Amino acid sequence: MIDLIPAPQKVSWSPPAPGYESLDADTHLEARAGTEGVARWLRATLGAATGLPFPDGNHTDNRIVLSVEPDLAPEAYRVVIDGYARRIEGGSAAGVFWGAQTFRQLLGPDAYRRAPVRPGQKWELPRVTIEDAPRFRWRGLMLDVARHFMPKDGVLRYLDLMAAHKLNVFHFHLTDDQGWRVEIKRHPRLTEVGSWRARTKFGHRASPLWDERPHGGYYTQDDIREIVAYAAERHIAVVPEIDVPGHSQAAIAAYPELGNTDVIDTTALSVWDTWGINPNVLAPTDNTLRFYEGVFEEILELFPADAAPFSSFVHVGGDECPKEQWRRSPVAQSRIKELSLADEDELQSWFIRHFDAWLTARGRRLIGWDEILEGGLAPGAAVSSWRGYQGGITAARAGHDVVMCPEQQVYLDHRQDGGADEPVPIGYVRTLEDVYRFEPVPPELAPEEARHVIGTQANLWTEVMEDQGRVDYQAFPRLAAFAEVTWSALPPPAERDFAGFERRMGAHYERLDALGVAYRPATGPRPWQRRPGVLGRPIEGAPPNV
């Protein structure tokens, strides 16, 4: 039995009867043209786990051959272990890399460790041929580092976890009301002031509990360059999110002139220390536009368009922008009149359209949450459909590309079980099986409309995830189920073999253990994973953000 996750399209024994062969100190590595980066990754990763040197060589059957094969689709791969040279083939370097991830799984859970744990261990491979390709091009994970900061090493670790699950888009949520996490040299107060808050609400916003310690952190520009390069080596695109015009109190706290100064005293604002939808939004002024153009100029330099497929995208947020300050603001009302706009919704659309045109002129593509549909969708923009499927359906029917991430299905901050022991229970109960039965393409879409669903992503909002262990708990094992949904050619949700997936997870838990992932056990949280007495948001159907 070969327990692979995500499940490949085709596995056959070669020869027809099962057999095994071993890697050893004499196993060579041959990297043909275009696979040099994969060879570096394989030698570093499997070399560390096995203690084997994998020297260069092409004169023995006891070798691993990496090659790009034109008969395969770009991300497709073929792994052949048949008693001769082991072959990992792909339609591109990315396909070879995904094949190498499968090859690693075949070696067993100890292949996921950073050093050998059993001297003299035999590294056996089953004699199989595996042929595989992904269902979706965009297979994403959104990580919110604004609510709770994750240090750089933790981000690099999550890129490795994504790669191990064949996910290829890292949506990097860098700014929000509760913190600004990326260094912008022309606006240094964004990190000097905006990257930390004096205290933090512990639990739901109605909770009486506070963590009175200051919380903060940010990534230097060289940190960002390192993260992007590390991701690109793993064929993962990093899509930065800089929120406009809502979710911006951290920026306004740093530069009060960005806010609606004719309505409130913005100099009294600090980085927000609680959760929810914040009323303090950016002013629709030329000064604000120029300020954020400067921000995006530096963002484009840090996140080059050619780093990986989908690296041309920049996420601008665009969600949950309350309009009350604009309704009261003479400056905003004058802007509405000047532009002949119907209302505040169209003012937000104008704001988004401005940056869509600005990014397009620089060879980039704007993507935003489905609120950017309100008041008119920016031409050329793509949509992250989070408030259910409807925004994505509307956008796809209008010819816009869509990433499906409905919060009812793939918001992994939502609790995994209805039991009282779940830590800080938030929102909908979404079990491992619920995620496994998620279907990204709505049946309402005609085939030509469905082609605009370029993929899907799972989202990790970190209001109640104060450290890496909490992020792990919310992400896993559900992210493994999501990875199979986005990669594998699964049948319709009701026909999916969840029992078979659970069986394969038995082997996958051992891989997660070797990786040090603090996942939720199938039997429920371990004692130290609970948060007794911390109020969550357990009401089904409550507003989506904590």
Question: Which pLDDT does position 441 carry in this prediction?
Answer: 98
Question: Which pLDDT does position 2 carry in this prediction?
Answer: 86
Q: Is residue 126 located within the same domain as residue 154?
A: no
185 burial type by CB count under 10 A (0-12 exposed, 13-18 middle, 19+ buried): exposed
Question: Which pLDDT does position 544 carry in this prediction?
Answer: 43
H/E stretch holding 319: none
Average pLDDT score over residue span 429-445: 97
d(C-alpha 167, C-alpha 174), whole Å: 20
Residue 218 lies in a domain: yes
Q: Is residue 397 located within the same domain as residue 523?
A: yes
Q: Is residue 379 located within the same domain as residue 511?
A: yes
34 with 28: CB under 8 angstroms? no
Q: Is residue 432 located within the same domain as residue 463?
A: yes
How confident is residue 543, by pLDDT bands cut at 50, 70 and 90? Answer: very low
Q: Is residue 208 located within the same domain as residue 234?
A: yes
Q: What are phi and psi of 323, to 5 degrees?
A: -105, 5
How confident is residue 285, by pLDDT bands cut at 50, 70 and 90? Answer: very high
Active-site residues, by number, are 176, 247, 320
Q: Is residue 91 located within the same domain as residue 225?
A: no
User: Is 479 strand, coil or helix?
Assistant: helix
Residue 541 lies in a domain: no
Whether residue 479 is predicted with pLDDT greater than 60 in this model: the reply is yes
How confident is residue 539, by pLDDT bands cut at 50, 70 and 90? Answer: low
Question: Which pLDDT does position 546 carry in this prediction?
Answer: 39
Whether residue 384 is predicted with pLDDT greater than 60 in this model: the reply is yes
CATH number (domain holding residue 494):
3.20.20.80
Identify the CA nearest to 450 among candidates 482, 379, 402, 490: 402
Q: Is residue 78 located within the same domain as residue 153?
A: no
219 with 181: CB under 8 angstroms? yes
d(C-alpha 201, C-alpha 199), whole Å: 7
Residue 3 lies in a domain: no
138 with 403: CB under 8 angstroms? yes
How confident is residue 376, by pLDDT bands cut at 50, 70 and 90? Answer: confident
CATH number (domain holding residue 116):
3.30.379.10
User: Is 317 strand, coil or helix?
Assistant: strand
How confident is residue 545, by pLDDT bands cut at 50, 70 and 90? Answer: very low
Whether residue 541 is predicted with pLDDT greater than 60 in this model: the reply is no
Neighbouring residues of 10: CB distance < 8 A, sequence distance ≥ 6? 129, 130, 131, 132
Whether residue 531 is predicted with pLDDT greater than 70 in this model: the reply is yes
Q: Specify the pairing of strand 453-460 against strand 402-404.
A: parallel
Domain count, the chain: 2
Residue 536 lies in a domain: no
Tens of pLDDT, residue by residue over 171-204, are 999 999 999 999 999 999 999 999 999 999 999 8
Question: What secondary structure does DSSP assign to 229-243, as a single string?
Answer: HHHHHTT-EEEEEEE
Q: Is residue 160 located within the same domain as residue 265?
A: yes
Whether residue 368 is predicted with pLDDT greater than 50 in this model: the reply is yes
8 with 134: CB under 8 angstroms? no
Whether residue 428 is predicted with pLDDT greater than 90 in this model: the reply is no
Whether residue 241 is predicted with pLDDT greater than 70 in this model: the reply is yes
The two most distant CA atoms of the chain are separated, in Å, by 78
Tens of pLDDT, residue by residue over 90-119, are 999 999 999 999 999 999 999 999 999 998
Residue 1 lies in a domain: no
Average pLDDT score over residue span 363-386: 90
Question: What secondary structure does DSSP assign to 192-224, as a single string?
Answer: HTTTEES-EE-SSTT-S-EE-S-EE--B-HHHH
Average pLDDT score over residue span 147-170: 98
Q: Is residue 486 located within the same domain as residue 405?
A: yes
Whether residue 473 is predicted with pLDDT greater than 50 in this model: the reply is yes
Tens of pLDDT, residue by residue over 117-136, are 998 899 999 999 999 999 99
Whether residue 36 is predicted with pLDDT greater than 50 in this model: the reply is yes
Domain that holds residue 309: 138-529
d(C-alpha 118, C-alpha 255), whole Å: 56
Give whole-number Cα distances, 301 to 139, 184, 360, in Å. 24, 11, 15
The proportion of the chain whose per-residue pLDDT surpasses 90, expressed as a percent, equals: 92
d(C-alpha 90, C-alpha 136), whole Å: 17
